[in-house]
Amino acid sequence: MKLYTKQGDDGGTVLFDGTRVRKHDPRVCAYGDVDETNAFIGVAASMAQGLAVSASGGARQDWQRLVDRLMHVQRDLFTIGAELATPIGAPNRDKVPKISESDARRLEGWIDEASAAVPPLRQFILPGGAPAASALHVCRTVCRRAERNVVALGADCSNPQVVIYLNRLSDLLFAWARCANAFSGVEDVPWQAP
């Protein structure tokens, strides 16, 4: 199977049900941002995996747990992408997997767990610190863009759980960035007003 079809050379693309749309269609922008979030999470997971391999004891377990959860999120994002790429009313739409309320609740549990592992926030912090934390902050901001573009779809996104999931995910990525700094022995950098 070839990786190229030449069917998108005219600026169009095909949705999951075979419908042709322009590549700047809001639906394509939304699932494209979800895909970009997924790719950046893959970068962060690769960084964390390298740290898990070189760490020992509890630190190894902390990094490996983060890797496993990042990979779980990647699978969820594939589900969201498939759902967004399938228009309402498409044949067999009911067979496309969907994100559910329990998926967002799982993220909430992980947020609570991650937040308990680091000192409470007393002020805003700058994105950055250890490389893995910086990568997770990039994931967070790309996820926020994906969330905004899904919200812009309005009624074309029939599952409200997609927006809820992306909202929770960006919060979780922030919490994980703080954990990555803590696992690395790097303090969060507080923002100071000029």
Q: Is residue 2 part of a domain?
A: no
Q: Is residue 1 part of a domain?
A: no
Band (pLDDT 50/70/90 cuts) for residue 26 is confident
pLDDT at 8 over 80: no
Q: Is residue 193 part of a domain?
A: no
Q: Is residue 94 part of a domain?
A: yes
Q: Is residue 8 part of a domain?
A: no
Rounded distance between C-alpha atoms, residue 147 and residue 34, angstroms? 8
On average, the pLDDT of the chain sits at: 91
Considering only residues 125 and 54, tell me which one the structure prediction assigns the higher pLDDT: 125
pLDDT at 6 over 80: no
Band (pLDDT 50/70/90 cuts) for residue 43 is very high
Here the CATH number for the domain that contains residue 142 is 1.20.1200.10
Give 26's Cβ-side CA count (13 Å radius).
Answer: 12
- Reported as type and span, the H/E element at residue 159 is none
pLDDT at residue 154, as a whole number = 81
The total number of structural domains in the chain stands at 1
Minimum mean pLDDT among 10-19, 50-59, 125-134: which range? Answer: 10-19
Band (pLDDT 50/70/90 cuts) for residue 28 is confident
Q: Which residues pair with 14 in a beta bridge?
A: 20
Q: Is residue 9 part of a domain?
A: no
Rounded distance between C-alpha atoms, residue 42 and residue 60, angstroms? 19
**Of 58, 174, 34, 158, the residue nearest 107 (C-alpha):** 174
Q: Which residues pair with 126 in a beta bridge?
A: 189
pTM above 0.85, yes or no: yes
Q: Is residue 36 part of a domain?
A: yes
Q: Which residues pair with 20 in a beta bridge?
A: 14
pLDDT at residue 153, as a whole number = 87
**Domain carrying residue 36:** 19-187
State the Cα torsion 167-154-81-178 to the nearest 10°. -10
Q: Is residue 10 part of a domain?
A: no
